[in-house]
């Protein structure tokens, strides 16, 4: 079945897009993180409303972080907002080098990159927990789910995954 639907918004970037993630939080809605081969760009996106006569969608790049490794998954922190002063952009980025970094910016002078998790194989996804963002977790091809928690005095935790293939179980590494 072929689907012919025009995109709601089309953002032009200078290179291939690796991953994208809209912020799911009300206080940072309209923020879009775009993973490019060597950076993560953040855009504000405002979609036109039907029938209001506006000239079209609006977007603006507000920040870019130049990455040491290609981003493969992005998650927004609940602490991200442009509605407060100072602004706060915070994302967790899983990269092709098997690392997860937390990146924070106030869109001014404060830009902090912190390596928070490391896998021994490809990282498939990264996420913050709920509205508090007190934990960051990732899952990888090394058969582990890993996390780091701010409420746990920055204690790391690793959970081996029990993966099954063809009805059999593979032991954790």
pLDDT in tens, the chain (173 residues): 787 787 777 899 999 999 999 999 988 989 999 999 999 999 999 876 655 555 566 899 999 999 999 999 999 999 999 888 889 999 999 999 999 999 999 998 899 999 999 999 999 999 998 777 778 999 999 988 888 886 444 455 555 554 444 554 555 54
Sign of CA dihedral 140, 134, 35, 6: positive
Place of tokens 């979609």: 47
Maximal CA-CA distance, the chain: 60
User: Do the domain assignments include residue 89?
Assistant: yes
| Overall pTM > 0.75 | yes
E strand or H helix at 46? strand 39-46
Cα distance between residue 76 and residue 79, in whole Å? 8
Cα distance between residue 65 and residue 79, in whole Å? 18
Mapping DSSP to helix (H, G, I), strand (E, B) and coil, where does residue 128 land? strand
pLDDT at 152: 44
Phi-psi region of 164 (alpha: psi -120 to 50; beta: other; left: phi over 0): beta
User: Do the domain assignments include residue 71?
Assistant: yes
User: Do the domain assignments include residue 158?
Assistant: yes
CATH number for 30: 2.130.10.10
pLDDT at 119: 94
pLDDT at 7: 75
User: Do the domain assignments include residue 4?
Assistant: no
Tally of domains within the chain: 1
User: Do the domain assignments include residue 13?
Assistant: no
CB atoms within 10 A of CB 64: 14
pLDDT at 89: 94
Q: What angle do CA 78, 82, 85 make, to 5 degrees?
A: 105
- State the residue range of the domain holding 73: 19-48+55-164
E strand or H helix at 27? none
pLDDT at 131: 73
Phi, psi dihedral angles at 170 (to 5 degrees): -100, 130
Torsion from C-alpha of 147, 94, 86, 28, nearest 10 degrees: -90
User: Do the domain assignments include residue 82?
Assistant: yes
Question: By the 8 A CB rule, do 31 and 65 touch?
Answer: no
pLDDT at 113: 94
User: Do the domain assignments include residue 154?
Assistant: yes
């Amino acid at each position: 079945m072929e689907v012919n639907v025009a995109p709601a918004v089309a953002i032009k970037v200078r290179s291939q897009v690796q991953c994208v993630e809209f912020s799911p939080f009300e206080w940072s809605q309209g923020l879009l993180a775009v993973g490019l081969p060597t950076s993560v760009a953040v855009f504000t996106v405002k979609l036109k409303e039907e029938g209001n006569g506006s000239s079209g969608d609006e977007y603006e790049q507000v920040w870019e972080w130049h990455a040491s490794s290609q981003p493969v998954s992005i998650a927004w922190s609940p602490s991200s907002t442009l509605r407060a002063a100072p602004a706060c952009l915070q994302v967790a980025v899983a990269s092709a080098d098997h690392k997860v970094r937390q990146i924070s910016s106030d869109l001014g002078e404060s830009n902090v990159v912190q390596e928070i998790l490391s896998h021994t194989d490809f990282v498939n996804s990264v996420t913050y927990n709920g509205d508090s963002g007190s934990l960051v977790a990732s899952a990888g091809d090394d058969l582990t789910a890993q996390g780091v928690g701010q409420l746990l005095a920055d204690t790391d935790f690793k959970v081996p995954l029990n993966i099954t293939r063809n009805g059999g179980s593979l032991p954790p590494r």
